[in-house]
Amino acid sequence: MKITTEAGERHVLAVTVDNEAGVLAKITGLFTARGYNIESLTVADITPDHALSRITIVTNGPPPVIDQIIAQLDRLVPVHKVTDLTDAGMAHVEREIALVKVAGTGDKRIEALRMADVFRAKVVDTTLTSFIFEITGSSDKVDRFVALMRECGLVEVGRTGVVAIARGPEAL
Amino acid sequence: MTEMSGADMVVQALVDLGVDTVFGYPGGAVLPIYDALFNHPTIKHVLVRHEQAATHAAEGYARSTGKPGVVLVTSGPGATNAVTGITDALLDSIPMIVLTGQVPTNLIGTDAFQECDTVGITRHCTKHNYLVMDPDRLGPILHEAFYIATHGRPGPVVIDIPKNVQVATGSYSMPETIDHQSYRPQVEPDPQAIDAAIALIAAAERPVFYTGGGVINAGPDASAALRKLVGLTGAPITSTLMGLGAFPSDDPKWLGMLGMHGTFEANMAMNRADLIVAVGARFDDRVTGRLDAFAPEAKKIHIDIDRSSINKIVPVDVAILADAGRALDALIDAWGAKGHRARDLGEWWRRIDGWRATRCLDFPEKKEPGAEIMPQRAIKALFDATRGRDPIITTEVGQHQMWAAQHFGFSAPNRWLTSGGLGTMGYGFPAAVGAQIAHPGRLVVCIAGEASLQMNIQEMATVSQYRLPVKIFILNNEWMGMVRQWQELTYESRYSNSYSDSLPDFVQLAAAYGWTGLRIDTLGQLEEGIAKMIDTPGPVIVDCRVAKLANCFPMIPSGAAHTEMILQPSDVTGTMDDEAKALV
Ligand SMILES: Cc1ncc(C[n+]2csc(CCOP(=O)(O)OP(=O)(O)O)c2C)c(N)n1
Ligand SMILES: [Mg+2]
């Protein structure tokens, strides 16, 4: 007997929640308990009184599963609102930050710096034998930059995961 | 605002919330609350003999009254013992509040004595849970917890209270209203969805109502509305295990339960229907059978209070997100407002009568007085003997549960208490305790299997202590019958570990606990034995010996379609492929 899984599509969800202990565990636990995927998850509080946090979740699944994910998130008591930013007709902006450490001397070092310039990555730390670049952009752009840096002495990468927001004047 | 200790706040909040009964078991981390409850004038504490039983008793209390059940247990093992009942309440949508003691806040995270991560452990088996770190938050949390447990789709809420929070003082006041920021279930149906549903119902040639526990949870008015709407439309109705009682079983429109052990007519009607009206039911796998063959010709209307239940398993044509009772009322109003009349469903009823003619619940039996008792006969005899007494029936889990669902007729909600979603052996007896506490004068009978009963049999002492007249009616087949049945069907009768060996003598056990014990061995003793059980004051255990190898039919094997029912033992082949074996 074989166990099969269905192919899915990528969705970016913005979730506003009470900023209180256990909420993140509830949400990540929901994903594991029900077998949903998390590609990335970011969270930070977003109100002056620290009452609310915004969580951006990048997930993956067939459309009925995405619907379920939204419904399941929505019924958690501390969840205020769930928005699918990838929903049809909802244009949005996605950004991710990566810190990329590259070590090396000579040509590799010069090549790394030149490529960083092309990608508009900033140098945030330097020694005689290393750089740390800060790059901001879509996950794709960050992926491409990191892939190139592998050829130029990549040592370490830290990424934030995606934050996203809908285009236009309205709030969610 | 009044200044008081956390423990006093707990008790005051329970009083303010109208709680009259708490099921619990003491321990170090809840001693302050137990002290606050000492000799309390209005709150009765029922001391169980195992915390799991406290949770099931609270479920029995809740299911039979419509009010939330309240549980109080200590930290660590007290809390972990409660987990099964909490999960049971989650799956069957039973409103329940579980107060757990916790080690003092300064010791949390240090592996202190009887510390466990209660909120972590119960995070996914509660509707919501809280760890209270500040006595000033205790009052608001208690009130909010009751609100959440009882509003929207009901469920269990755990409040974990460290011991120093119980001892410290804080301010308490009774909130006037609960206006929750983020939890606001939609109760009123969308009028457009109601109109769309009514248009489908009015046009349907082969409609079926498929109803579930949501109708019971929506209160007796919802059951009344269901009866009215079914009457107006003239459509047949079936229900899940959890929904039994919402519609009277002696009404000609009643098809019996559907699903794995449902009736042939209910399952065939679902399969051939052109419209299914699902009310407070969640298309569980025990109900649908093989999904791609489920109700292939039907449009589907789904009324549910929980948005995540809609389109979860089966995509529907009209979704009505609302309280079942409100939605049914709105459908009745819209039916009248649009001037609809019941269609002539004669052709549909003729087909249904054809399926009924298979008499799928009939069973072979010998009739002489010395004959062995068929378990189905025992249930029918119990039903006949208790007619007119409005009994509350609880069950354990197994064949006896399914036979009870098939052969016991219910005519009102809140009389049928069974563990559906989790299928918890050990539920039935403590649930009967909870129901009996809530209804001291009523006849409460637990229909048990000899194996399930032993999972919480220690509660016999609780029953003795509170002088509860609970009756336990054991269908003793000396087997974990349901397991044995599956082994017969799937594993060529290799009965691995399913024999109930070394059974106690239940009659002597009854005597040991100060109960009355009766034994029924033959058909000739059945009626008299049941009559004696009913007429004997106080608790009675009946060891009713039944045919050992009887199987529960009809049955849709896991992963089969509604049309592939096994009606007779002779339909059984005894082998199954791996795909089928992998299904539960
Ligand atoms: C706590 C728990 N453990 C195991 C099971 C699996 N199970 C389902 S029915 C059953 C046998 C029940 O036997 P009994 O109570 O004698 O009832 P019968 O089927 O014989 O009527 C078992 C072991 C369960 N449902 N619950
Ligand atoms: Mg048995």
Active site residues of B: 51, 113-114, 163, 482
Q: Are B186 and B322 in contact (CB under 8 A)?
A: yes
User: How far is Cα A133 from Cα A158, in angstroms, rounded to an integer?
Assistant: 11
One domain, residues A103 and A67: no
| Residue B72 bridge partners (DSSP) | B24, B99
One domain, residues A149 and A121: yes
CB contact under 8 Å between A25 and B120, yes or no, is: yes
Q: Does domain B375-545 have CATH number 3.40.50.970?
A: yes
Between A172 and B536, the more confident residue is: B536
One domain, residues A105 and A39: no
Chain B CB contacts of A29 below 8 Å: 123-124
User: How far is Cα A14 from Cα A163, in angstroms, rounded to an integer?
Assistant: 9
Q: Are B7 and B37 in contact (CB under 8 A)?
A: no
Q: Are B514 and B546 in contact (CB under 8 A)?
A: no
Q: Are B419 and B561 in contact (CB under 8 A)?
A: no
CB contact under 8 Å between B119 and A22, yes or no, is: yes
B168: distance to nearest CA of chain A, Å?
21
- The residue written with tokens 């001037």 in the block is B339
Q: Which of B271, B318, B282 is nearest to B565 (CA)?
A: B271
Domain count, chain A: 2
What chain A residue is nearest to B119 in terms of C-alpha separation? A22
Looking at A32, A59, A84, the residue that finishes a domain is: A84
- The residue written with tokens 């003997």 in the block is B385
CB contact under 8 Å between A71 and B128, yes or no, is: no
Residue range(s) defining the domain that contains residue A46: 9-84
Rounded to an integer, what is the distance from CA A99 to the centroid of its chain? 14
What is the CA angle B137-B186-A31, rounded to 5? 70
Task: Write out the two tokens for B59.
Answer: 């479920």
User: How far is Cα B148 from Cα B524, in angstroms, rounded to an integer?
Assistant: 51
Q: Which are the contacts of A9, defined by CB distance < 8 A and separation ≥ 6?
A: A60, A61, A62, A63, A66
Q: Which are the contacts of B388, defined by CB distance < 8 A and separation ≥ 6?
A: none
User: How far is Cα B128 from Cα B147, in angstroms, rounded to an integer?
Assistant: 11
Task: Write out the two tokens for B485.
Answer: 């049945």
Chain A CB contacts of B310 below 8 Å: 71
Q: Closest ligand 1 atom to the C-alpha of B480?
A: 13
CB contact under 8 Å between B123 and A22, yes or no, is: yes
Q: Are B21 and B50 in contact (CB under 8 A)?
A: no
User: How far is Cα B75 from Cα B477, in angstroms, rounded to an integer?
Assistant: 38
Q: Which of A6-20, A130-144, B301-315, B457-471 has the lowest mean pLDDT?
A: A6-20
User: Residue B581 pLDDT more than 80?
Assistant: no
User: How far is Cα B235 from Cα B202, in angstroms, rounded to an integer?
Assistant: 11
Q: Which of B470-484, B497-511, B556-570 has the lowest mean pLDDT?
A: B556-570
Q: Are A96 and A165 in contact (CB under 8 A)?
A: no
Residues in chain B: 584
Looking at A43, A60, A84, the residue that finishes a domain is: A84
Nearest to B182 among A22, A67, A78 (CB): A78
Residue type, B447: I
- Give Rg (Cα) of chain B: 24
Q: Which of B140, B306, B35 is nearest to A71 (CA)?
A: B306
**Residue B42 carries which DSSP code?**
S
How far does the centroid of ligand 2 lie from the alpha carbon of residue B455, in Å? 12
Query: Mapped to the 3 state alphabet, what secondary structure does B276-326 carry?
Result: EEEECCCCCHHHHCCHHHCCCCCEEEEEECCHHHCCCCCCCCEEEECCHHH
Q: Which of B312, B378, B424, B225 is nearest to A72 (CA)?
A: B312
One domain, residues A16 and A63: yes
Q: Which band of pLDDT confidence, cut at 50, 70 and 90, is reported for residue B475?
A: very high
Q: Which band of pLDDT confidence, cut at 50, 70 and 90, is reported for residue A89?
A: confident
Q: How many CB pairs under 8 A join A and B?
A: 47
* ipTM reported for the complex, 2 dp: 0.89
B22: distance to nearest CA of chain A, Å?
25
- Please tell me whether the peptide bond between B554 and the residue prior to it is cis, using omega within 30 degrees of 0: yes
Over range B160-179, report the average pLDDT: 95
Q: Which band of pLDDT confidence, cut at 50, 70 and 90, is reported for residue B579?
A: confident
B483 CB burial (10 A radius; 0-12, 13-18, 19+):
middle
Q: Closest ligand 1 atom to the C-alpha of B448?
A: 15
pLDDT in tens, B235-263: 999 999 999 999 999 999 999 999 999 99
Q: Closest ligand 1 atom to the C-alpha of B477?
A: 20
User: Residue A150 pLDDT more than 70?
Assistant: yes
User: How far is Cα B329 from Cα B218, in angstroms, rounded to an integer?
Assistant: 12
Most ligand 1 atoms within 8 A of CB, residue of B92, B406, B483 to mutate: B483
Most ligand 1 atoms within 8 A of CB, residue of B52, B482, B496 to mutate: B482
CB contact under 8 Å between B181 and A80, yes or no, is: yes
**B120 in A contact zone (CB under 8 Å):** yes
- Topology, domain B191-356: Rossmann fold (3.40.50)
**B178 in A contact zone (CB under 8 Å):** no
Give residue B45's pLDDT: 98
How far does the centroid of ligand 2 lie from the alpha carbon of residue B6, in Å? 46
User: How far is Cα A129 from Cα A117, in angstroms, rounded to an integer?
Assistant: 18
Domain with CATH 3.40.50.1220 in chain B: 191-356
Percentage of chain A modeled with pLDDT above 90 = 91
What chain B residue is nearest to A26 in terms of C-alpha separation? B123
Q: Which of B41, B36, B28 is nearest to B10 (CA)?
A: B36
Residue A17 inside a domain? The answer is yes
Give residue A171's pLDDT: 87
pLDDT in tens, B256-265: 999 999 999 9
pLDDT in tens, B357-400: 999 999 999 999 999 999 999 999 999 999 999 999 999 999 99
Q: Are B398 and B482 in contact (CB under 8 A)?
A: yes
| Residue A126 bridge partners (DSSP) | A131
3-state secondary structure at position B533: helix
pTM of the prediction?
A: 0.96
One domain, residues A23 and A79: yes
3-state secondary structure at position B409: coil
What chain B residue is nearest to A2 in terms of C-alpha separation? B579
Domain with CATH 3.40.50.970 in chain B: 2-172, 375-545
User: How far is Cα B261 from Cα B375, in angstroms, rounded to an integer?
Assistant: 15
One domain, residues A72 and A97: no
One domain, residues A105 and A159: yes
Angle, helices B324-337 vs B220-233, to 10°: value is 30
Q: Span B2-172: which CATH code?
A: 3.40.50.970
User: Residue B543 pLDDT more than 80?
Assistant: yes
Q: Are B319 and B311 in contact (CB under 8 A)?
A: yes
Q: How far apart, in Å, are the Cα atoms of B212 and each of A41, B277, B507?
A: 37, 11, 37
Q: Which band of pLDDT confidence, cut at 50, 70 and 90, is reported for residue B572?
A: low
A6 CB burial (10 A radius; 0-12, 13-18, 19+):
exposed
Looking at A32, A56, A84, the residue that finishes a domain is: A84
Over range B519-540, report the average pLDDT: 98
User: Residue B86 pLDDT more than 80?
Assistant: yes
User: How far is Cα A41 from Cα B433, in angstroms, rounded to an integer?
Assistant: 46
User: How far is Cα B406 from Cα B247, in angstroms, rounded to an integer?
Assistant: 14
pLDDT in tens, B116-148: 999 999 999 999 999 999 999 999 999 999 999
Give residue B177's pLDDT: 85
User: How far is Cα B526 from Cα A71, in angstroms, rounded to an integer?
Assistant: 51
**Residue B375 carries which DSSP code?**
H
Q: Which residues have CB less than 5 Å away from ligand 2 (the ion)?
A: B 449-450, 477, 481
One domain, residues A156 and A102: yes
Which CATH number fits the domain that encloses residue A105?
A: 3.30.70.1150
Tell which phi-psi region holds residue B323, choosing left (phi > 0), alpha (psi between -120 and 50) or beta: beta
What chain A residue is nearest to B149 in terms of C-alpha separation? A77
Task: Write out the two tokens for B319.
Answer: 């979704």
Residue B31: CB atoms within 10 A of its CB come to 16
Q: Which band of pLDDT confidence, cut at 50, 70 and 90, is reported for residue B573?
A: low
Q: Are B366 and B523 in contact (CB under 8 A)?
A: yes
Q: Which are the contacts of B393, defined by CB distance < 8 A and separation ≥ 6?
A: B404, B408, B410, B415, B416, B417, B444, B445, B446, B447
Q: Which band of pLDDT confidence, cut at 50, 70 and 90, is reported for residue B574?
A: low
**A28 in B contact zone (CB under 8 Å):** no
Over range B290-318, report the average pLDDT: 96
User: How far is Cα A131 from Cα A117, in angstroms, rounded to an integer?
Assistant: 13
B290 CB burial (10 A radius; 0-12, 13-18, 19+):
middle
How far does the centroid of ligand 1 lie from the alpha carbon of residue B396, in Å? 8
**A24 in B contact zone (CB under 8 Å):** no
Q: Which band of pLDDT confidence, cut at 50, 70 and 90, is reported for residue B211?
A: very high
One domain, residues A106 and A50: no
Residue nearest to atom 11 of ligand 1 (CA): B480
How far does the centroid of ligand 2 lie from the alpha carbon of residue B467, in Å? 27
Q: Which band of pLDDT confidence, cut at 50, 70 and 90, is reported for residue B575?
A: low
